[in-house]
Structure 1
Amino acid sequence: MSTQDPSTAGTRPAGGRRSAPHRLAAAAAAAAVASTVSLLVAAPQAGAATTNLVANPTMERSTTGWFASSSFALARVAGGHGGGYAVRLRNAATTTRTGVVNDTVNTVRSTTAGHVYAASAWVRSSTPRRAVSLRLMEYRGRTYLGQKVGTMTLPDTGWHKVSTVYTARTTGATVDVNVLGVRLPAGASVLVDDVTLRDATPVVPPPADPGTPGDPTGTTRAGWTLKWADEFDGADVDATRWKVDDLSTYGDGNSELACLMDRPENVFTSGGVLTIRARREAAPVRCGDRDARFPSGREYTSGMLRTTAAWQYGRIEMRAQLPTAQGVSKGLWPGFWMRPAGGGTGELDILETIGSGPGGTEWNKIHQTVWYDYSGTHPRQTFTATTDVDPSAGFHTYAAEWEPGVIRWYVDDRLTYTRTTATTPWLDEAFGKPFVIRLNMAVGGSWPGSPDATTTFPADYRVDYVRVYQR
């Protein structure tokens, strides 16, 4: 078991990627044809993020609206950010502790499900290399619903801005704002000033072409006809459409850490959304009888689904909200991809993303790849689309159009990447058969690395729909 994440300290009670061993050393050593693009997928909502919801953000005249956790002292002091005053959080205990500057009344009084709340605070320490966190926590009464944490190790004694973003899970809940001095020695302190929390909900535009004119259901699409779909409107995952992996797979070919489980804690539907949830378990979970790497159990669990139906050719489309928020998602690896129903060559990665810790740069990158095989017979060909917004802050569409001799990738209906038999001579050979769709979220692995103390769990990969169109 890992030690407790300092970001879970507070004063209120808290109510794989694929399993196929395709990222083996041989495949990793194969040369990849790679490129990158910047992709604008949404703009901030007009008028959003303009009102600071924090009642006393500057602490200029008093500490009203704020209190310190037990064994810590809170005082208004001179030398604030930009002059004036700040508040000082000092460890008054005789041992090293994590302290919290907490809003007395939760700053967001009533959330709206799916709204994005962006927070920041200016922090300073009397000594360098102190870790400070900013945390947003959602509650319904005293029931804890979720959180996001941004953490920064201050390199010096100057003022620095720490920030985080949280997407509300429900309507009518509250959001609690905390600034944490992490593992402060006895007598040590940090200064806090200019705390902000704003509703920064971005516009998530509908697909540019949801169907032909007069067809709002999306049953047709500019020359494509809907052949199969799951809108996840049922109370449970539809077993006639999906097989959910359970215990038998755990991605050891990629050095993954999570046991993939068929249970409501990891895979469930609610409100028309499928959720694949990665969890850090309180106690190790046995992952079948053949788990040689972790015979005593695994610390992480997650889920993977694959369709019971298979298709050769079509437009394969998903609308989803990704779990790879900036700074708090290291070690997460969600995927939307296809493999042959009967095995053999070919893999189509419509979407892969990996999370990042503080300072990481992967949070807004969408990786799109074709594979011939995993032994390097031909190098995989891959592309990176870089978005200008946070894909974890709302729902976006991801699709591939697969036809004889060509595969095209799209993000929010913008063409990002194309492979043809001219660029990829083995394309039709590798993809000349029916494929199934897979959805999963790995934890750890040879590509994203392991989670660290900044990774927030549970982490949710939320899918609004999956659709298959054909000509």
Structure 2
Amino acid sequence: MKHHVRMLLLAALVVAVGSIAIQAPGTAATKTKPAAPSCGAKVLKSSGKAWTCRFADEFSGTKLDGTKWSVQQTSVSGHSGNKADCWVSSPNNVAVANGTLRLTSREESKPIVCKAPRGHYTTKYTSGSVTTWGKFAQTYGRWQIRAKFPNADVTGSHSALWLFPRDQAYGEWPQSGEIDIAEYYTRAPDRVIPVIHYNAVGRANRSRTNKKCMVADAWNWHVYTAEWTPGRIRIWIDKELCVDHSIRSRRPHSSTAPFDQPFATYLTQSLGVGRNRFRDVGRYATPLPVRTEVDYVHVWS
């Protein structure tokens, strides 16, 4: 019996060894390099040189690519639509299907306790947001996002395609900056608003924006592009230049600060606050669910 067992173990060992690739002494193990990202057709800089693709997601699968994105959760980041909703990791709020990323704000069947670092609260509403923080961040470059926003014309929904510093090297917001490539408020359904937040010359928290970037049908597909170079940020909607801003930081910062640090990418569908505040009753109640869809995200350097 023992001999029989030894023979079986020996046979199993031979099979196992036969299935293992043996590395010869003195040779290095080979590693498969991940495929280089593809941002489609070559895009040229004003100098005539080509931009280099650094990040691309076409959302062609059936789930969010966890090597590129993380779902933002109020329980971790504390972010939300000013407690009107709770950002959660749920396929009801963050999903990939039919070639697009779908971010949804919706009403739950019953109230939930939203666990936030600065205090829990109760809400009936949940939303979706994703970020490349911890997985991809870049200083300077070209970002292009094809997206469409909710088809609604009352207050309450807030969509955003934005960049935020990986490390808040210059202090808390807005000292370290924020680049909103596109913000869409259903209170103003005829326009998409890009905003550059930082402590600019003039007054504290002076935002640089153009609120007259008219888009008659933001609920259809449009292309939003930002080019960020040392000391300058430009933003286009489709092929129309909407913002062309030269950075002028307050002293003691340099002329490129705070936009000289790596920024991560964020895509968000949330409920509105302030003048675009969410309403759940009455004549002007926000219709739910509302959804932002993203076709692709391309980033070059």
For the aligned pair, the TM-score class normalised by the smaller chain equals: 0.7 to 0.9
**CA offsets, 1:270-315, max 9 Å, x none?**
0110000000112012212656362xx2111001111120001111
Instruction: Determine if the alignment matches structure 1 residue 417 to structure 2 residue 243.
Output: yes
Aligned counterpart, 1:96: none
Aligned counterpart, 1:429: 257
Cα drift, residue 353 of structure 1: 1.3
**CA offsets, 1:184-221, max 9 Å, x none?**
xxxxxxxxxxxxxxxxxxxxxxxxxxxxxxxx962421
Aligned counterpart, 2:93: 266
Q: How many residues align?
A: 243
TM value normalised by structure 2: 0.74
Query: Which of residues 158, 162, 166 in structure 2 aligns to 1:337?
Result: 162
Query: Which of residues 268, 274, 277 in structure 2 aligns to 1:440?
Result: 268
Q: Which amino acid aligns with 2:287?
A: T
Query: Which of residues 118, 123, 129 in structure 2 aligns to 1:304?
Result: 129
Q: Which amino acid aligns with 2:164?
A: R
Structure with higher RCO (Cα < 8 A, 6+ apart): 2
SS at match of 1:456: coil
Distance 1:424 1:368 in 2: 21
Structure 2 regions of 5+ residues with no counterpart? 1-37, 46-50, 170-175
Q: Which amino acid aligns with 1:353?
A: Y
Alignment of 1:208-223 (within 5 A): 218-223=40-45
Instruction: Determine if the alignment matches structure 1 residue 354 to structure 2 residue 185.
Output: yes
CA contact (8 A) 1:220 1:469 kept: no
Distance 1:402 1:342 in 2: 18
Alignment of 1:210-249 (within 5 A): 218-223=40-45, 224-248=51-75, 249=77
Cα drift, residue 325 of structure 1: 2.5
CA contact (8 A) 1:278 1:300 kept: yes
Cα drift, residue 222 of structure 1: 2.2
Alignment of 1:374-389 (within 5 A): 377-389=204-216
Distance 2:290 2:40 in 1: 29
CA contact (8 A) 1:255 1:446 kept: no
Alignment of 1:172-183 (within 5 A): none
Cα drift, residue 446 of structure 1: 2.6
Instruction: Determine if the alignment matches structure 1 residue 363 to structure 2 residue 186.
Output: no
CA contact (8 A) 1:335 1:352 kept: yes
Distance 1:290 1:235 in 2: 31
Cα drift, residue 455 of structure 1: 1.8
Q: Which amino acid aligns with 1:277?
A: T
SS at match of 2:182: strand
Instruction: Determine if the alignment matches structure 1 residue 372 to structure 2 residue 203.
Output: no
Instruction: Determine if the alignment matches structure 1 residue 450 to structure 2 residue 278.
Output: yes
Cα drift, residue 363 of structure 1: 0.3
TM value normalised by structure 1: 0.48
SS at match of 2:276: coil
Alignment of 1:151-230 (within 5 A): 218-223=40-45, 224-230=51-57
Q: Which amino acid aligns with 2:197?
A: W
C-alpha distance 422-431 of structure 1, shift in aligned 2 (>3 A): closer
Distance 2:82 2:298 in 1: 31
CA contact (8 A) 2:140 2:260 kept: no
Q: Percent identity?
A: 29
Cα drift, residue 250 of structure 1: 4.9
Cα drift, residue 421 of structure 1: 3.6
Aligned counterpart, 2:23: none
Structure 1 regions of 5+ residues with no counterpart? 1-215, 357-361
SS at match of 2:212: strand
Aligned counterpart, 2:294: 463
Distance 1:435 1:448 in 2: 27
Distance 2:244 2:73 in 1: 35
Distance 2:234 2:248 in 1: 14
Distance 2:40 2:239 in 1: 13
Distance 1:331 1:441 in 2: 11
Aligned counterpart, 1:119: none
Distance 2:117 2:205 in 1: 32
Cα drift, residue 458 of structure 1: 1.1
> Greater strand percent: which structure?
1
Distance 2:124 2:273 in 1: 14
SS at match of 2:256: helix
Cα drift, residue 456 of structure 1: 1.6
Q: Which amino acid aligns with 1:335?
A: A
SS at match of 1:387: coil
CA contact (8 A) 2:191 2:216 kept: no
Aligned counterpart, 1:391: 218
What value does the CA root-mean-square deviation take over the aligned residues?
2.5
Q: Which amino acid aligns with 2:268?
A: N
CA contact (8 A) 2:73 2:79 kept: no
CA contact (8 A) 1:233 1:273 kept: yes
Runs of 4+ in structure 1 over 3 Å off: 249-252, 289-293, 421-427
